[in-house]
Amino acid sequence: MRTDLDHLPPAKRRELELVVKLIFEEFGDAVALAQQAWKKQARILKIILFGSHARGGWVDEPHTAKGYLSDFDLLIIVNHDRLVDRGSYWSSADERLIRERTVAGTLRTPVNFIVHTLGEVNAALSEGRYFFTDIARDGIAIYQSDTSRLAEPRSKSSSEALALTREYAEDWISTADGRLDTAKYVQSQGRSNEAAFNIHQAAERYYHGLLLSLTFYSPHTHRLGVLRSIAEQLAPNLIGVWPRETKLDRARFEKLKDAYIKARYSKHYQIENSDLDWLISRVSDLGRTVASLCNERIAFLERQAASAL
């Protein structure tokens, strides 16, 4: 695996150095009061940059009409399966990275990360999960305390890939469609917060369905920002689903991100019908685009499977 970042501008390299420093600070605090033996040995083994910043195709247009800025996407590999619990060990790192960008201004580039053990990553490679295969091929190790090589990827047969892709697309898109229908109904009944939660669930399921259909992997997260970032890396035509030009556009997406928790549990969460209408329109567009991408993938795999006979 590569370890060089020579293709990145100096400012990007400095940002990544700061990101690694902040992740270690917050992880250190999360395990600092360890009593259990396993937690005392808690370690980050590798931090791998993947996606557009690793491949060299990032977009940096935050001040244009498109308003898009590619995220830093990171895979953090840890030495114990309990350490992948995002709520227990990584929520403070999430919050710190957001704060450093939006409040302190020390970071310019958004950061998304996923956390897995080395065993999970190697198992995914052995199962032929394209997402991890791409990371193994294109990723850049920006930190390593363990120089163990990742497992050799295994390729799925065309028929295996086709069957799994069909299953993922059908299951996830249908449940997403159902959530969107529920959102429209409860909005018509004046239950705005419930509508916001169901719109969130529809968007989340569309993203999970797409990622699973294209790569056989989707992170175990409800964070729409993470899911959107990974999906847009795979399918750039998804970028246009979420306008970013105006403050109102961006605020509405943030409102949707908050809906997973706040729309259910916070008495302070409020959302206007105009915002719900806009979000339903955007998530409907997301669903149509995801369905089209999945159908294209299935058609491609059908041709592959037929030619292999």
Q: Are residues 164 and 123 in the same domain?
A: no
The model's confidence at residue 67, banded by pLDDT at 50, 70 and 90, is low
Give the pLDDT of residue 39: 74
Confidence band for 59, pLDDT divided at 50, 70 and 90: confident
Q: Are residues 255 and 302 in the same domain?
A: yes
CATH code of residue 40: 3.30.460
Is position 166 within any domain?
A: yes
Mean pLDDT of 86-109: 93
Is 199 contained in some domain?
yes
Domain boundary among 119, 144, 169: 144
Same domain, 260 and 133: no
Q: What is the mean pLDDT of the chain?
A: 93
And the tokens for 273?
A: 């019908």
pLDDT of amino acid 60: 82
Boundary of a domain, candidates 110, 144, 178: 144
- Same structural domain for residues 165 and 296? yes
Residue range 235-265, pLDDT digits in tens? 999 999 999 989 999 999 999 999 999 999 9
CATH number at residue 234: 1.20.120.330
> Is residue 2 situated within a structural domain?
no
- Judge whether 225 lies within some domain: yes
Say if 282 falls within a structural domain.
yes
> In this structure, are 190 and 58 located in the same domain?
no
Does residue 5 lie within any of the structural domains?
A: no
Confidence at residue 156, expressed as pLDDT on a 0 to 100 scale: 87
Q: Assess whether 128 and 163 both reside in one domain.
A: no
106 has a pLDDT exceeding 60:
yes
Q: Is residue 249 part of a domain?
A: yes
Same domain, residue pair 56 and 162 = no
pLDDT of amino acid 160: 92
pLDDT at 33 over 90: no
More confident residue, 21 or 63: 21
User: Could you tell me if 298 and 174 lie in one domain?
Assistant: yes
Tally of domains within the chain? 2
**Same-domain check for residues 303 and 170:** yes
Domain that holds residue 292: 158-308
**Considering the domain boundaries, does residue 1 fall inside one?**
no
Domain boundary among the residues 144, 179, 195 is at 144
- For residues 121 and 196, membership in a common domain is answered with no
What pTM, to 2 d.p., does this model score? Answer: 0.86
Residue 64 pLDDT more than 60? Answer: no
- Does 135 lie in the same domain as 163? no
User: What pLDDT is stored for residue 63 in this prediction?
Assistant: 55
Same domain, 163 and 300: yes
pLDDT digits (tens, 9 = 90+) for 135-180: 999 999 999 998 888 999 888 888 999 999 999 999 999 999 999 9
